[in-house]
């Protein structure tokens, strides 16, 4: 039996980050990954979609450059070339993760691991061929798409008419009519790419707004921008059936489709990991963890999507670090108060911290400040007729920032600074003394602070 200090199930953002940090801390590590290192984010999510969206962004710039004095008649998108570059980017980054694991002496087992049970000195895991043992176990098995029990969906998946994001990222042809079920982050990003690539895109969302938990006003501005591009939305409509090869039934009518993309969310992946052998506590499908990422079983931790807290790669990175810190006896814990979230549409939307709704639900005394992004000179210079906004949620008691929400160019890059401001717990008067570079779109935060 091969022995190590730590066994990690899953080689996604949480798994490979934990392996690197634990090895650097002096632990011997065995990492199980049955597919590709990098997990969903690197192979089927964050990275491939951003590669594709960048191509779409370039084409949009070429097509709509006239107000900026740029004419590029006949500009088009070569989907095959986009996919080829996407695959190259993914391959490069996966190779980088593999090189990191090798340089840190991590033993990578290219198969899924299943927990067998406890041993006198720890935990036993098998890959189906041999057994491994470690004194600690970290569960990083990630998540998988939710497949709703809608009539016709199962048959549609079998025929290739209904897709998840995994299959959508491998399409060789652009569907003429694409119906996307779910107006959350994944659905909206996919809508942007396929619309630019030539699909007539219809997004069906059961809720009365798009972008899931995004701040309501940000959601409204984003919806308007995407509708102006030509993306069609059916808001407040529930999909009740799929006719494979033909259509989707939503609300009071059918929507013709060449392909249907399911993006209604993801759920933790625990099946097949053998967690029942240890009686690991699972609630509503998620492995329950504390602020040190410990489960109910001593020396068993869980990080990333599998614990269902905030299913984002950057959350997984930080959770992995907090878990390993606890294993190594270092003072550390996971905080979820300032985890940024980004929608990489065009325009981008980003948020961190409390919304008006969440602050009210918590009974926090707050006030809000809203400012047009046009108060930032660079935004005006680069956005003809842009309607972006920045919204601050501020604690009335001490002037601390509780939340920042924005929509507009570079929002994904700016939101980190807002997160730092929230984490710092500094009052607005102190934040006003920070020097922002000029001209930057990020100055909108400074301008908003002076409106408090």
> pLDDT in tens for each of the 452 residues of the chain?
799 999 999 999 999 999 999 999 999 999 999 999 999 999 999 999 999 999 999 999 999 999 999 999 999 999 999 999 999 999 999 999 999 999 999 999 999 999 999 999 999 999 999 999 999 999 999 999 999 999 999 999 999 999 999 999 999 999 999 999 999 999 999 999 999 999 999 999 999 999 999 999 999 999 999 999 999 999 999 999 999 999 999 988 999 999 999 999 999 999 999 999 999 999 999 999 999 999 999 999 999 999 999 999 999 999 999 999 999 999 999 999 999 999 999 999 999 999 999 999 999 999 999 999 999 999 999 999 999 999 999 999 999 999 999 999 999 999 999 999 999 999 999 999 999 999 999 999 999 999 99
Write down the domain spans for the chain.
Answer: 2-145+267-327, 153-264, 347-449
Find, among 111, 102, 95, the residue nearest to 47 by Cα: 95
Q: Do domains 2-145+267-327 and 153-264 have the same CATH topology?
A: yes
Integer Cα distance of 312 and 186 in angstroms: 12
Is the pTM higher than 0.75? The answer reads yes
The label of the residue with tokens 């730590």 reads 6
The CATH number that domain 347-449 falls under is 3.30.390.30
CATH 3.50.50.60 fits 153-264, yes or no: yes
Strands 300-302 and 286-287: unpaired
Which position among 64, 104, 314, 438 bears the catalytic label? 438
Does residue 200 carry a catalytic annotation? no
Instruction: Give me 63's structure tokens.
Output: 């097509």
Residues 6 or more apart whose CB falls under 8 angstroms from that of 130 comprise 1, 2
CATH 3.60.10.10 correct for 2-145+267-327 = no
Q: Which residues of 54-183 form beta strands (DSSP E)? A: 107-109, 114-119, 122-126, 131-139, 143-145, 162-163, 177-181
Cβ–Cβ under 8 Å, residues 248 and 116: no
């Amino acid at each position: 039996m091969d022995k190590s200090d730590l066994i990690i199930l899953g080689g996604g953002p949480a798994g490979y980050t934990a392996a690197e940090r634990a090895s650097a801390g002096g632990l011997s590590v065995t990492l199980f990954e049955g597919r590709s290192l990098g997990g969903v984010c690197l192979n089927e999510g964050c990275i491939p979609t951003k590669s594709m969206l960048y191509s779409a962004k370039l084409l949009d710039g070429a097509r709509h450059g006239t107000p900026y004095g740029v004419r590029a008649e006949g500009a088009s998108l070569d989907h095959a070339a986009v996919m080829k570059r996407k695959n190259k980017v993914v391959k490069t980054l996966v190779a980088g993760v593999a090189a990191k694991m090798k340089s840190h002496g991590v033993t990578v087992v290219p198969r899924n691991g299943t927990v067998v049970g406890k041993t006198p000195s720890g935990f036993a895991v098998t890959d189906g061929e041999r057994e491994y043992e470690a004194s600690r176990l970290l569960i990083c098995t990630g998540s998988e798409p939710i497949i709703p029990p809608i009539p016709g969906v199962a048959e549609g998946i079998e025929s290739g008419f209904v897709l998840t994001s995994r299959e959508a990222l491998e399409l060789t042809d652009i569907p003429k009519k694409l119906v996307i079920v779910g107006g959350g982050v994944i659905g909206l990003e996919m809508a942007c790419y396929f619309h630019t690539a030539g699909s007539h895109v219809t997004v069906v969302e059961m809720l009365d707004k798009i972008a899931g938990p995004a701040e309501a006003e940000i959601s409204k501005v984003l919806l308007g921008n995407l509708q102006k591009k030509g993306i069609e939305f059916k808001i407040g409509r529930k999909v009740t059936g799929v006719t494979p090869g033909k259509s989707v039934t939503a609300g009071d009518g059918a929507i013709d489709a060449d392909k249907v993309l399911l993006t209604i969310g993801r759920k933790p992946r625990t099946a097949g990991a053998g967690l029942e052998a240890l009686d690991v506590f699972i609630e509503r499908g998620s492995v329950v963890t504390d602020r040190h990422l410990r489960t109910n079983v001593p020396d068993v931790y869980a990080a990333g999507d599998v614990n269902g807290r905030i299913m984002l790669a950057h959350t997984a990175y930080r959770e992995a670090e907090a878990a390993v810190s606890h294993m190594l006896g270092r003072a550390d814990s996971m905080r979820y108060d300032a985890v940024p979230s980004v929608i990489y549409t065009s325009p981008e939307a980003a948020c961190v911290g409390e919304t008006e709704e969440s602050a009210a639900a918590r009974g926090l005394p707050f006030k809000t400040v809203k400012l047009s992004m046009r108060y930032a000179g660079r935004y005006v210079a680069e956005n003809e007729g842009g309607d972006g906004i920045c919204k601050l949620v501020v604690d009335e008691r001490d002037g601390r920032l509780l939340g920042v929400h924005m929509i507009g160019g570079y929002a994904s890059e700016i939101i980190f600074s807002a997160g730092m401001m929230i984490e710092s717990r500094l009052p607005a008067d102190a934040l006003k003394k920070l020097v922002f570079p000029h001209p930057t779109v990020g100055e909108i935060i400074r301008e908003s602070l002076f409106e408090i």
